[in-house]
Amino acid sequence: MLNRLLSHDLPRNRWLALLLVAIVLGLALTPFLFPGTKALNVAAKIIVFIVLVASFDLLLGYTGIVSFAHTMFFGIGAYGVAIACTRIGATWGSVALGIAAALAISLGLSLLIGLFSLRVKAIFFAMITLAVASAFLGLASQLSDFTGGEDGLTFKVPEALQPGTSYLDAPLLGASIDGRFVSYYLLFAVALLLVLALLRIVNSPFGRVLQAIRENDFRAEAIGYRTIVYRTLASVLSALFATLAGCLLALWLRYNGPDTTLSFEIMLDVLLIVVIGGMGTVYGAVVGSALFVLAQSYLQDLMKLGAGVVDGVPVLAQLISPDRWLLWLGILFVLSVYHFPSGVVGRLRAMRKPGP
């Protein structure tokens, strides 16, 4: 049964399976195991990133398309919910409307981009998506009447999800059962479904054709697969999943701005996670996101401590300052591209069992 649930894409390695179980259980039980707002926020971020990164991997790892416009769809999803709740009101109806509108826009845009990608060479395409993503970021900041500009939009969510809404007066097993609690499990449940859906997609005949196209699109076309259809579909699917991730994030944060979803930093984070986790494996997104967000959230505290120690030493203080987190990220990124080309998941799966 587990086999069917995971679409026959098993971890295939004891350590990987353990890691995955730990992550899933950890996320499932966070309100109980790790009380406190920070922990909950970190866990929610991990969940959203898992979906976002997995959707990006569908494009990059499975189909072999490099696109820097991915965060655009993430942003569209988040803004969809944000704008709907701000303009129309904090009801489930408006949330649904926001999500639907965001999905529709993403569908249209991704179709356009997907079809355009086939007219130009891959390298051109990568550069063009970079330009488009910048432009979109600029647009979001410019249309301040609509999007709240640089400041973004803060909004209320439906009552059931509001932090103020309390379901039980006393905490149950250490967790306070309120709107946040419900929001969290909403995120968890939806994300779980989306990840399982992705597993189903990549392990289906469709997914196999995508991989064939990634390896050698010429040959795939020669065998008879209309690569244009498959690639466009992959672009669209990947965009839709990213949009949903954005919607989830907006519901959780009750805020969205250009830097929350559209920034280049997020695109780079996604790239980094895909590379570290392992391209072409959905589990890579799971493991990578968890490791990355945990490191990002807690390592910075470590860095702050470190900075305190070397305070005063000119260059060293600057290098360890938590503001320079991105520097170490960059170095780790470069190192992983060289030494972990198949990511953590690939490394684990490649480990052979000792035997005769």
Residue 40 CB, nearest distance to another protein (Å)?
29
Nearer of residues 154 and 211 to another protein, judged by Cβ? 211
Residue 133 CB, nearest distance to another protein (Å)?
9
Looking from the CA of 44 toward its CB, the CA atoms found within 13 Å total 24
Which residues are near another protein by CB under 8 A? 66, 116, 119-124, 126-128, 130-132, 134-135, 138-139, 142, 264, 268, 271, 275, 315, 318-319, 323-324, 326-327, 329-331, 333-334, 337-338, 341
Distances in Å between the alpha carbon of 102 and those of 77, 95, 99?
A: 5, 10, 5
Residue 210 CB, nearest distance to another protein (Å)?
16
Nearer of residues 93 and 341 to another protein, judged by Cβ? 341
Tokens linked to 232:
């466009």
Phi, psi of 341, rounded to the nearest 5 degrees: -60, -30
Residue in 16, 40, 316 with CA at minimum distance from that of residue 180? 40
Residues making up the chain, counted from first to last: 356
Which secondary structure element, helix H or strand E, spans residue 256, and what is its range? strand 255-256
Q: Positive or negative CA dihedral for 132, 138, 144, 147?
A: positive
CB 254 within 8 A of CB 63: no
Nearer of residues 131 and 229 to another protein, judged by Cβ? 131
Nearer of residues 13 and 110 to another protein, judged by Cβ? 110
Nearer of residues 133 and 240 to another protein, judged by Cβ? 133
Residue 326 CB, nearest distance to another protein (Å)?
5
Residue 61 CB, nearest distance to another protein (Å)?
10
Tokens linked to 354:
């000792």
